[in-house]
Structure 1
């Protein structure tokens, strides 16, 4: 079993100060089973809190409202981290964005190294936005600005 700490290290905090993507794991409200979805509207408010924004059309919003326990999986430097915590609604709907979104704060309980023993992450996965780059940049700016004000 891996050891854990209850807040983000300085280097992991820095990862969440610029755009990154994570896997958000929730409990499905209908099946009761685990779910995992990739999201990119996430940043660290401080070393103990992650803030994320979700489109209301996503099942994740209802999943979290029904069961606030979440795990955020992030690809860090050399390893993969599982960040466990409880999510609370910060702002619903999120102000100053062009469609209905919900903003959550994840209060961190534990940060664990989730990579199997004896392995090291050689390179973090990368993604590319395949729709209108200008529109994507504008929307990202709006959402992150609104999240920081929430």
Structure 2
């Protein structure tokens, strides 16, 4: 049985965050003060205390983090669901070597909780596929993830 609360990413979570992975993130909305949830996939964990995240530089996520640094990553991995509470900062306002205007967020891991309900496990982790030009998507994903890793 996995640990219920940690202050670092355990190895299976670091491993899951070495490749493009579907997660949801929650921020505090800068206008309403309520939750704001987004699905993303361009993130990378260079170590047990850090997650790097590429998002549209003009997104609500960036605006929210600029007003309140609390950000939660919800990750399905290691047969379970994890809530990763972080403190987020904008590390780079505009990333180089990518064709989109992307910002890079630095997430400092504070608390990692296994939040899967008792007596259950994830039997199939979520998968996704790009619905636009597959070759263009592969090229863009490679450019973005290479740039993210370069900043680690």
Indicate the TM-score class for this superposition, using the shorter chain for normalisation.
Answer: over 0.9
Rounded Cα–Cα distance in structure 2 between residues aligned with 1:135 and 1:66: 34
Runs of 4+ in 1 over 6 A off after TM superposition: none
Partner of 1:88: 89
Shift of 1:13: 0.6
C-alpha distance in 2 between matches for 1:85 and 1:42: 14
Residue 69 of structure 1 corresponds to which residue in structure 2? 70
Q: 5 Å matches for 1:1-150?
A: 3-150=4-151
Q: Which runs of 5+ in 2 are unaligned?
A: none
Offset from partner CA, 1:96-137 (integer Å, 9 cap, x none): 111211101100001100111222111112111110011111
Per-residue CA distance 1:35-84 (angstroms, 9 max, x = gap)? 11100000101111000000123211111111110000000121100000
Counterpart-to-counterpart distance in 2, 1:3 and 1:18: 24
Structure 2 CA distance, aligned partners of 1:29 and 1:43?
25
Range that drifts further, 115-124 or 131-140: 115-124
Query: What is the TM-score of this pair, normalised by structure 2?
Result: 0.93
Question: Which TM-score applies when normalising by structure 1?
Answer: 0.95
Long gaps (5+) in structure 1: none
Distance 2:133 2:58 in 1: 21
Question: Alignment partner of 1:65: what SS?
Answer: helix
Q: How many residues align structurally?
A: 149
Q: Return the alpha-carbon distance in structure 1 between the equivalents of residues 131 and 100 of structure 2.
A: 20
In structure 1, how many angstroms separate the alpha carbons of the residues matched to 2:57 and 2:14? 27
